[in-house]
Amino acid sequence: MDAPDKNTALKRLKEWYIFVATQNEPEFITCMNTIINWQEYVLNSFTCPYTNGYTEGVNNKSKVFKRNAYGMRNFNRFKNRILHMMS
C-alpha cells in the first residue's frame, strides 16, 4: 500500500509471492491465492485516486441509526434525522 505507483506495487507483490511460497503456511498460501485472483483490481487502486469509503461510511451510519430507531413511525422524521446526522 506504500508503493508510489502500479509498477512498484506489482514488483513488491511478486516479491511477497516468493516470500509466501517459501514459508509453506496454509493460511499464507490461501491469502496469496486470493490476492492473485484479485490482483488486477488491487493494482487498479494505484491508478485511480478515488474510493467509495465515504459512501460506505454513510451507509454504515444510516444502518446503525435504523437499527437504533426500530419502531420509529414517522418516515419523514427518520429521513430528516439521517440527513441531520450527515451534515
Confidence class of residue 3 from pLDDT cuts 50, 70 and 90? confident
Tell me the CA distances in angstroms from 75 to 47, 63, 78, 87, one per residue in order. Answer: 41, 15, 5, 19
> In the chain, what are the domain boundaries?
6-44, 54-86
10 Å CB burial of residue 81 (0-12, 13-18, 19+) is middle
List pLDDT tens digits, range 41-64: 999 988 887 888 889 998 998 888
The label of the residue with cell 451534515 reads 87
Give the pLDDT mean for 10-15: 94
Q: How far apart are CA 34 and CA 9, in angstroms?
A: 17
51: helix, strand or coil = coil
Instruction: Give this prediction's pTM.
Output: 0.60
| pLDDT at residue 32, rounded to an integer | 94
